[in-house]
Amino acid sequence: MEKALLLVDLIKGFGQEGYDKNMYCQSVEKIKKNIQELVEYANKNNMPIIYCCDAHQSNDPELKSNGGPWKEHCMKGTESSEIVDWLPSSSLVRLTNTNSNEKITDKKENNNVFRVDKRTYSGFYNTALDSFLKHNNIYEVYIAGLVTSICVQHTAADAFFNGYKINIVENCCADTSNEKHENAIKYMKDNYSAKTVKVNKNRLK
């Protein structure tokens, strides 16, 4: 079974100080090295990496201006929607409905990095992610990123609904409080049969 790594909202608005002050998750500092190790692991094991990134538009339902709970953040085309400086992203391919049926043919290290733009919490909802994974016979995903109880959890939910085996990389996820993080981990284990793993010394276990 092919596997892929989904990195959720590791973008400047959430994961790098000085962009969206209302959204920056300070606890990302505690997991930054773990995430870098996880990316290194995925590259060495030829595991495709897909960044699932907020790229909001003004009419998105989660924004306060449209009755949602959040102020404008990580808007499409802004720097806060770009991947954090502390992760490699220079050679990534943006996935759209046009190229989502392409096969991954080059298994060289550092050459299978992709991005999907999302307009709500889930990396799957109204994106090319599900189509791309299934065209490449990927039915097991490892999920990491920000924040555990919102975008990570909703991405895991849609992965479950779409028939994927789910692994949550527990020490590569963070939330605004440890309680929210732990509750979300338990919820995903209880409701999506998610397995929790940790990255440690270039191993996942």
* Residue ranges of the chain with per-residue pLDDT less than 70: 1, 105-111
Q: Does residue 147 form part of some domain?
A: yes
Q: Does residue 94 form part of some domain?
A: yes
Q: State the amino acid at position 58 in one-letter form.
A: S
Quote the pLDDT of residue 1. 52
Quote the pLDDT of residue 123. 98
127-145 residue pLDDT tens: 999 999 999 999 999 999 9
Quote the pLDDT of residue 105. 67
Quote the pLDDT of residue 94. 92
Residue 142, domain CATH: 3.40.50.850
Label residues 64-83 b or e (16+ Cβ within 10 Å = b): eeeeeebebbbbeebebbbb
Write down the pTM of the prediction.
0.96
Q: Does residue 203 form part of some domain?
A: no
Q: Does residue 163 form part of some domain?
A: yes
Q: Does residue 11 form part of some domain?
A: yes
Quote the pLDDT of residue 121. 98
Quote the pLDDT of residue 106. 62
Q: Which domain, by its residues, includes 12?
A: 2-197
Please count the structural domains in the chain.
1
d(CA 201, CA 132): 30
What is the per-residue DSSP string for 74-100? SBTTSGGGSBPTTS--TT-EE--TTTT
